[in-house]
């Protein structure tokens, strides 16, 4: 039986987009349930930041087998930056890693981020979206820093949820 390649690609493309949409919606559904269970005294930002830490720690553990120091510090940081940018790609965003202005610095630029749209559906403030992304990436770096004995930091420079047109994170080695 012959395969209609165009039809099969379209079917897979739709399935991918459906799965990507569920990633964010599931996160915000979980957040909503956690807040309801925590009661009226719960602070939504604290719940969101804690969830971002948990997600980041798990993602960071998955990065370890794919990272190596064999090609030196600059290549290591660039590969780590690409891995962080790929998280957005998995979620349906568009992001790239590029060399920064200073040695040992990588910028991760995201020009399309689906998270603000999902957050809006669930009434989540845009500042929480920006802070959670930063916290998630910081948590990713914790195990990577320990495993490779390299003090790494990441900071949010610009954020789409803040209306700045793109999200830019600066990844660098400290000390």
Tokens of 45: 């930002």
pLDDT of residue 113: 93
pLDDT of residue 168: 97
Residue 82 burial (10 A CB sphere; 0-12, 13-18, 19+): middle
pTM of the complete model: 0.87
* pLDDT tens, position by position, 10-43: 888 888 878 888 888 999 999 999 999 999 999 9
Residue 1 has pLDDT above 80, yes or no: no
Q: Any idea what the CATH number is for the domain that residue 24 is in?
A: 3.30.1380.20
Residue span of the structural domain in which 66 resides: 5-173
The residue to which tokens 């802070």 are assigned: 131
Residue 131 has pLDDT above 90, yes or no: yes
Distance (Å, whole) CA 51 – CA 30: 9
Distance (Å, whole) CA 104 – CA 96: 17
pLDDT of residue 23: 85
Residue ranges of alpha helices (H) inside the chain are 5-38, 44-63, 73-91, 115-121, 126-148
- 7 CA to centre of own chain: 31
Q: Find out whether 109 and 96 touch, Cβ atoms under 8 Å.
A: yes
Other C-beta atoms within 10 Å of 125: how many?
14
Domains contained in the chain, number: 1
What rounded mean pLDDT belongs to the chain? 92
* pLDDT tens, position by position, 57-75: 999 998 888 888 888 889 9
């Amino acid at each position: 039986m012959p395969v209609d390649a165009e039809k099969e690609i379209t079917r897979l493309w739709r399935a991918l987009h459906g799965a990507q949409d569920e990633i964010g919606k599931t996160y915000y559904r979980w957040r909503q349930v956690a807040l309801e269970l925590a009661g009226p005294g719960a602070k939504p930002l604290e719940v969101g930041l804690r969830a971002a830490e948990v997600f980041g720690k798990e993602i960071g553990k998955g990065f370890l087998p794919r990272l190596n120091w064999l090609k030196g510090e600059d290549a290591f940081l660039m590969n780590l930056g690409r891995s962080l940018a790929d998280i957005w790609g998995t979620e349906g965003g568009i992001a790239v890693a590029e060399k920064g202005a200073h040695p040992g610095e990588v910028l991760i630029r995201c020009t399309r981020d689906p998270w603000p749209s999902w957050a809006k559906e669930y009434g989540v403030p845009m500042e929480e979206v920006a802070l959670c992304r930063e916290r998630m990436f910081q948590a990713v770096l914790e195990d990577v820093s320990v495993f490779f004995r390299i003090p790494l930091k990441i900071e949010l420079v610009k954020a789409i949820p803040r209306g700045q047109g793109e999200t830019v994170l600066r990844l660098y080695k400290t000390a």
